[in-house]
């Protein structure tokens, strides 16, 4: 049985992960950590009978007392970097779904994990369909000269653009092998930011935050006299759970952290 702890247990994603781990035949819930809800039985969080497992609020003390195999982290961009360093210090394999880490932090976490020989996963998106959307967009970018990304999330999401949008731009640029030169040099924004943000490499990314949304993304590619739109929609948080389970299981066989769920799906 794989012993799994969940950090950010009282958040919407944390609750969904706890339910999923609780129901998995090959996993056992080792504990739950959150800055909120200390002492609450997780049965109350996932709406089932009492489990005897209470929410704890001190990650460092939890890791000292218990030694789970894997930590699934859906906290916030302010804390996830420091959490990752703590997991690695204690030999726990992180599966991180929180976005907002910058490239330098991701590189540092991966380098440290490689030194320690501890596997894990950092994934901007755990939905299998979203990974396929990125893959299709990268393939299409070989043949259509221009692209823009529109990502849409719920109004409680802190970071913009989303990690998925950034990852999509990275994958497209890797496939294309050159930067984009979009729009005339004299392009004028009468309203600042109306053309979105220009990611490294010239791909423009637009972010929408509205109640009622979960996680959605369109990649719009343009060519002579035509456009192609590739879209993915996560309408419930359950859509991320197969990817989380895959990350937990595969992390046991990795000797360093990898960035992107596609590394586990396609790099075999």
Catalytic residue among 86, 116, 157, 256: 157
Q: Which residues pair with 56 in a beta bridge?
A: 33
Give the span between the Cα atoms of 77 and 102, in whole angstroms: 9
**Three-state DSSP state, 236:** coil
Cβ pair 141, 176 in contact under 8 A: yes
12 is an active site residue: no
Which among 181, 196, 166, 162 is positioned nearest to 77, based on CA atoms? 162
Neighbouring-strand partners of residue 218: 150, 231
List of E strands, 112-265:
120-122, 146-153, 197-198, 204-209, 215-223, 226-234, 257-259
| 153 catalytically annotated | yes
| CA-to-CA dists, residue 145 to 5, 148, 179, 261, angstroms | 45, 11, 11, 26
- The region, left, alpha or beta by phi > 0 then psi within -120 to 50, assigned to residue 266 is alpha
Backbone angles phi, psi at 18, to 5 degrees: -60, -45
Q: Which of 19, 153, 206, 216 is catalytic?
A: 153
The residues near 268 (Cβ < 8 Å, ≥ 6 apart) are none
Strands (E), 16-110: 27-33, 55-56, 70-73, 93-96
Catalytic site positions: 153, 157
């Amino acid at each position: 049985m794989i012993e799994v702890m969940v950090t950010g247990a009282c958040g919407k994603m944390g609750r969904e992960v706890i339910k999923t781990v609780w129901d998995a035949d090959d996993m056992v819930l080792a504990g739950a950590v959150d800055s909120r809800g200390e002492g609450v039985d997780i049965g109350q969080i996932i709406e089932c009978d009492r489990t005897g497992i209470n929410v704890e609020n001190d990650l460092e003390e939890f890791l000292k007392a218990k030694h789970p195999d894997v930590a699934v982290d859906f906290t916030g961009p302010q804390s996830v970097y420091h959490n990752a360093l703590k997991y690695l210090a204690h030999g726990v394999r992180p599966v991180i779904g929180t976005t907002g880490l910058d490239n330098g932090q991701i590189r540092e976490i991966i380098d440290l994990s490689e030194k320690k020989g501890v596997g894990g996963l950092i994934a901007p998106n755990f939905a299998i369909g979203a990974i396929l959307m990125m893959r299709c967009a990268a393939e299409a970018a070989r043949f259509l000269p221009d692209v823009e990304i529109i990502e849409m999330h719920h109004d409680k999401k802190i970071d913009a653009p989303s990690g998925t949008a950034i990852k999509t731009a990275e994958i497209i640029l890797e496939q294309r092998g050159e930067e984009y030169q979009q729009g005339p040099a004299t392009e004028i924004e009468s309203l600042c930011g109306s053309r979105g943000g220009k990611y490294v490499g010239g791909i423009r990314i637009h972010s929408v935050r509205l109640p009622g949304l979960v996680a959605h993304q369109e990649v719009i590619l343009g060519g002579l006299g035509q456009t192609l739109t590739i879209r993915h929609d996560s309408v419930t948080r359950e859509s991320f759970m197969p990817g989380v389970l895959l990350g937990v299981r595969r992390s046991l066989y990795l000797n360093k952290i990898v960035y992107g769920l596609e590394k586990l799906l396609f790099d075999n």
